[in-house]
């Protein structure tokens, strides 16, 4: 057992990240508190997003993205087909990209509530699109 200096709770040792610099080999902040700190830091610092953008340009990252994308397309053919249909409809003018229906951000994604209707979409910014999928709706 170990006590987190951040939240003050006593937790089992596996709930702390390993850290060679600590006497017992584990960080003094629990995983839950460490993750919360990272989320807060990323939200408050645009430099982190810029760092991520630059890091994503490496050859290794691009190869990894290509591999993961190819696997996703094979595992999700209906979703991929709907995404392609939307891209083609936007290009041909059948669908016009709209701002996010929640916050009005002009850069938006097409969100499918039902992939069997590929051209029926809701327009959401990246943040709200991510939140919609994370909430399961």
What pLDDT is attached to residue 11?
97
15 neighbors 31 (Cβ within 8 angstroms): yes
pLDDT of residue 52: 86
pLDDT score of 43: 86
In the chain, where are the structural domains located?
Answer: 2-46, 56-135
Q: What is the pLDDT of residue 53?
A: 87
Supply the pLDDT for residue 137.
64
Spans of the chain below 50 pLDDT: none
The Cα-based distances of 112 to 81, 109, 118, 120 in angstroms read 12, 10, 7, 7
Is pTM beyond 0.85? Reply is no
How far apart, in Å, are the Cα atoms of 83 and each of 36, 68, 77, 90? 33, 16, 10, 11
Q: Please tell me the predicted confidence (pLDDT) of residue 136.
A: 78
pLDDT at 49: 84
Q: Quick one: CA dihedral 52, 58, 63, 64, positive or negative?
A: negative
- Measured from the Cβ of residue 73, the count of other Cβ atoms closer than 10 Å reads 14
Return the pLDDT at 66.
Answer: 96
């Amino acid at each position: 057992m170990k006590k987190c200096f951040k939240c003050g709770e006593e937790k089992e040792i596996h709930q702390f990240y390993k850290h060679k610099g600590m006497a017992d080999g584990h960080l003094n902040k629990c995983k839950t508190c460490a993750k919360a700190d990272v989320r807060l830091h990323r939200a408050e610092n645009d430099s982190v997003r810029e760092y991520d953008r630059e890091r994503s340009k490496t050859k290794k990252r691009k190869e990894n993205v290509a591999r993961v994308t190819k696997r996703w397309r094979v595992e999700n053919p209906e979703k991929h087909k709907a995404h392609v249909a939307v891209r083609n409809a936007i290009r041909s003018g059948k669908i016009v990209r709209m701002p996010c229906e929640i916050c009005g951000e002009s850069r938006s994604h097409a969100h499918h509530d039902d992939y069997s209707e590929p051209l029926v979409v809701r327009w959401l910014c990246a943040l709200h699109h991510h939140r919609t999928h994370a909430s399961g709706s």
